[in-house]
Amino acid sequence: MSLSASPSVQVEVLDAAPRWSYGLLAANFARLQILFTWYGGSPDRYLEAIENGFEDAEDRDFVEDLKRRLRDDRSLLDDMRRIVGEFASRFGS
């Protein structure tokens, strides 16, 4: 019976990166998905979650900007919900 040594392999373990580090477009899409999935499309509920430490503080500017845009374009939220829904139906959610 012969014994052989297993080779030693170095592995680098990285922490999960925050969603905003993947690029602005991907981060904003993720934020919209969170807005609809967890907060029922309510920017105020999302902002409250940020204030309570349940969501990333980096999301605040996006959500506040969305609130401002909704004042001028009331259909924006429905358009974004439709886009996120269409994506989910094609690629799974």
pLDDT value, residue 45? 98
pTM of the model: 0.72
pLDDT value, residue 23? 83
pLDDT value, residue 53? 94
Q: Please, what's the b/e burial string for 21-44 (b: 16 or more CB within 10 A of its CB; e: otherwise)?
A: eeeeeebbbbbbbbbbeebeeebe
pLDDT value, residue 27? 87
Q: Distance (Å, rounded) from C-alpha 60 to C-alpha 8?
A: 45
Residues 6+ apart with CB under 8 A from 76: 66, 69, 70
- Where are the domains positioned within the chain? 40-93
Q: What tens-digit pLDDT sequence spans the chain (93 residues)?
A: 566 666 666 656 555 666 556 688 888 999 999 999 999 999 999 999 999 999 999 999 999 999 999 999 989 999 999 999 998 899 875
